[in-house]
Amino acid sequence: MNFLEERIVKDGIVKEGNILKVDSFLNHQMDVTLFQQMGEEFKRRFADKEINKILTIEASGIGIACIVASCFHVPVVFAKKSKSVNIDGAVYVAEVESFTHKCKNQVIVSKKFLHPEDKVLIIDDFLANGCALQGLISIVAQAGATVEGIGIAVEKGFQQGGRIIRNLGYPLESLAIVDSMDASTGTIVFREQN
Ligand code: 5GP
């Protein structure tokens, strides 16, 4: 088991409805020493890529993305959830369905912060059905920029997102891939990765 898998086993809680709660260290209280280790691991896994911008989505991706951005020495941009419509065309927009909150949100990124020459590493805390990632990929495409890679903390491998994104050809690295989990016993099984 790697450092993140060990932490998930120690402090993660498996909930009914295929939810893994990691709010004591990842997305409510945040262990930034762990985030630093995650940032260094993403830097190692994407060492061959020329990345000049990190992109994530509000809210729980922001903490991790900031530390990753510090490891890559590049700025981080987050897609904002927005209720207002795009009147003046100054933003890129995507529709994202929230897995945890079961609602649809428009997310926006200002055109000021994403350009055709940008080489983007997308970072998020979880990958479930892949809606959040598809929204971020769409925003990068609208900007004419390039997705150089996608880094996820926890992928739920029993949901479809990872397969969809890999089939689209994106270099996707998840630090922990949960292949199965059981709320009644609390058991979590991780996918073997090299
Ligand atoms: P997707 O768009 O891939 O279906 O879901 C990704 C988003 O849903 C993530 O940004 C994350 O905030 C949230 N999410 C999905 N599954 C879980 C989960 O099991 N636990 C937690 N804490 N968040 C999740």
Position 87 in a domain = no
Whichever domain contains 74, its CATH number is: 3.40.50.2020
Position 105 in a domain = no
Output the CA 157–ligand 1 centroid distance in Å. 12
56 in contact with ligand 1, CB cutoff 6 A: no
Q: Which tens digits make up the pLDDT trace of 49-61?
A: 999 999 999 999 9
Give the separation between CA 57 and CA 137, rounded to whole angstroms: 11
The CA-CA-CA angle for residues 43, 91, 83, to 5°, reads 105
**Domain housing 165:** 3-78+112-187
Position 96 in a domain = no
Position 30 in a domain = yes
Q: How many domains does the chain have?
A: 1
Mean pLDDT in runs of 10 for the chain (194 residues)?
Answer: 98 96 98 98 98 97 98 98 80 89 89 98 98 98 98 98 98 98 97 90
177 in contact with ligand 1, CB cutoff 6 A: no
Whether residue 47 is annotated as binding a ligand: the answer is no
Position 36 in a domain = yes
- Whether the full predicted model's pTM is greater than 0.80, yes or no, is yes
Output the CA 88–ligand 1 centroid distance in Å. 31
Position 10 in a domain = yes
Position 98 in a domain = no
Cβ contacts of residue 191 below 8 Å, gap of 6+? 157, 177, 178, 179
Output the CA 170–ligand 1 centroid distance in Å. 19
ipTM reported for the complex, 2 dp: 0.96
Position 167 in a domain = yes
